[in-house]
Amino acid sequence: MKVLHFFKCYYPDSVGGVEQVICQLAEGGRAHGVTSEVLSLSKRGPFRNQPYAHHITHAAKLDLYLASTGISLSVFKDFRELAAQADVIHYHFPWPFMDIVHFFSDIKKPTVVTYHSDIVKQKNLLQIYKPLMYRFLSNIDHIVATSPNYLKTSSVLSKYKYKTSVIPIGLDSAHYSFNNLQRQDYWRQRLGGKFFLFIGALRYYKGLHILLEAMRGVDLPIVILGAGPIEKELRQQANQLNLHNIHFVGALSNEDKFALLELSYAVVFPSHLRSEAFGISLLEGAMYGKPLISSEIGTGTTYINIHQETGLVVPPSDPITLRNAMLILWQNSELAASYGENAQKRYQKLFTAEQMVEQYSNIYRSLLIEK
């Protein structure tokens, strides 16, 4: 069975949660008889048949980027040709331009959409896009939500419950390293042996300004791993609050990220808007057996992190409650260890890549039978 994944960007041009999901599906699907190829847009494009890991990638030339939407004229031809060779087309939502490509290509193959997120930021443009969006989702054979929380709270998905299933994002621990003592020693010397860890792009919806405000007068050690457009203002905020234990370490290699995950005392994930649809780095913390702190925003973050079981869940945009939650874990190592152990067990029960890949493979096969 051959599956074509279609999304606006992909490795190695960009690194993000959607790209990681596509990669895990492409790599893991081989064990289930699924051969995956990926079509995206790229400034390096156009190119065809470029290997990434054990699967093939293609890219059309990115001509324009408008309101977070990549646009390409040449992708119409590329998509038609590649879709003709595929058994199943797997779209990754949201990407409004993808909807246009779908209809212009007159796709007759079975189609799946992974609904990664509502459109949150572009509220005005959403009103213009809505008719196309609803037509597109109505035309798709099957929709996948990444958590029951998101399916329950998305006004868009509520219209398509009859053809929507839930498949949580999964991680393959084999792609992560453990016990890299050299890198751990390096970071232990720089940071000490006890700190909260945040991993992610430094973007508006990550709630990092709330995290810094929570440290007013407390200044617990926090390591912020990642880069992004609001880094400068976050550094300024830390200086204004006279915080001395906030460590901005930038974007790091995977080996350094893995070392910091192992060293960390707990993972803090203060995202406060629904743009944070799942929280893969929160799941990475669970995989490494760390207690978790997150906000209740009606998305997958509180499907990963269960309050007072795997960690603590606080209201969004509430620095005082966030500070208190961090202090509770900081001052009670036995409770923190218990939450971390539960988080790891929950990862193993619900969030392995093998489970995710198997469930998608079953959907692909069922759609082929129906067609």
Which whole-number Å values give the CA distances from 88 to 35, 248, 261, 350, in the listed order?
10, 43, 37, 25
| pLDDT value at residue 371 | 67
Tokens coding 234: 């976050």
Burial zone of 158 (CB within 10 Å; 0-12 exposed, 13-18 middle, 19+ buried) = exposed
Does this chain's domain 2-172+352-370 share its CATH topology with 174-350? yes
Q: Does domain 2-172+352-370 have CATH number 3.30.540.10?
A: no
| pLDDT value at residue 45 | 84
Average pLDDT over residues 134-152: 97
| pLDDT value at residue 35 | 98
Residue 136 has pLDDT above 70, yes or no: yes
Residue 123 has pLDDT above 90, yes or no: no
Its sign, for the CA torsion 21, 26, 31, 35, is positive
Residue 258 has pLDDT above 70, yes or no: yes
Which whole-number Å values give the CA distances from 240 to 121, 216, 235, 250, in the listed order?
28, 10, 9, 20
Smallest Cα–Cα separation from 353: which of 22, 13, 9? 22
Beta bridge partners of 51: 56
β-strand pairing of 164-166 with 2-6: unpaired
Average pLDDT over residues 31-59: 96
pLDDT band at 219 (very low <50, low <70, confident <90, very high): confident
Smallest Cα–Cα separation from 144: which of 18, 257, 31, 235? 18
**Are 364 and 3 within 8 A, CB to CB?**
yes
| % of the chain exceeding 90 in pLDDT | 88
Dihedral angle computed from the Cα positions of residues 224, 230, 236 and 238, in that order, rounded to the nearest 10 degrees: -30
Q: Does domain 174-350 have CATH number 3.40.50.2000?
A: yes
Distance of alpha carbon 121 from the chain centroid:
17
- Sorted by where each begins, the domain ranges of the chain are 2-172+352-370, 174-350
Average pLDDT over residues 255-278: 96
